[in-house]
């Protein structure tokens, strides 16, 4: 009888599978959209290729056009600074010599990338969609 009471006093063990937390989206691959300046209204096409650097950063290669004809390329490492329900938050900072430090903060899902940027003389947005 004493051993039956001891068995009843043991904690209940559950064999239910734990529910997985929603994972952050993977951003690998090619994206396209546009950039726009808040300072002067300039805008142009923008393309980006995202390559993962482990679980907490991406190498992002941007290419686009300024003033409709002047091409530019820009590569940076964007650090993952937060994740949530299907969303990842990224941040980057890169010194560009006489142009000051270029800072970017972005929110991304599986299909959309929306970033703000600031530099010494400009600020604006990058808006991209997965291709």
Q: What is the pLDDT along the chain (131 residues), one digit of tens a residue?
A: 444 444 344 444 444 444 444 567 899 999 999 999 999 999 999 999 999 999 899 999 999 998 889 999 999 999 999 999 899 999 999 998 887 899 999 999 999 999 999 999 899 999 999 98
Q: What is the pLDDT of residue 111?
A: 96
CB 75 within 8 A of CB 48: no
Measured CA to CA, the distance from residue 84 to residue 87 in angstroms comes to 5
23-130 CATH? 2.40.128.20
Q: What are the strands, taking DSSP E only, across the chain?
A: 29-37, 43-52, 57-66, 70-84, 87-95, 101-108, 112-118, 123-130
Other CB atoms closer than 10 Å to residue 7's CB: what's the count?
Answer: 8
Tokens of 115: 């970033």
- Give me the half-sphere count of Cα atoms (radius 13 Å) on the Cβ side of residue 102: 14
Q: What is the pLDDT of residue 23?
A: 67
- pTM passes above 0.85: no
pLDDT at residue 116, rounded to an integer: 98
Residue 68: the pLDDT is 83
Domain boundaries, the chain: 23-130
- Tokens 């990224």 belong to residue: 90
Q: Nearest-CA neighbor of 78 among 45, 33, 31, 39?
A: 31
């Amino acid at each position: 009888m004493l051993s039956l009471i001891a068995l009843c006093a043991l904690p209940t063990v559950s064999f239910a599978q734990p529910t997985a937390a929603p994972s952050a989206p993977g951003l690998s691959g090619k994206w396209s959209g546009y950039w726009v300046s808040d300072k002067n209204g300039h805008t142009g096409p923008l393309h980006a290729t995202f390559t993962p650097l482990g679980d907490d950063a991406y190498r992002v290669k941007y290419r686009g056009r300024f003033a409709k004809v002047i091409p530019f390329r820009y590569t940076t490492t964007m650090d993952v600074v937060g994740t949530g329900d299907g969303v990842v938050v990224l941040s980057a900072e890169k010194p560009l010599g006489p142009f000051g430090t270029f800072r970017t903060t972005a929110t991304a899902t599986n299909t959309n990338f929306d970033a703000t940027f600031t530099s010494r003389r400009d600020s604006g947005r990058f808006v991209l969609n997965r291709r």
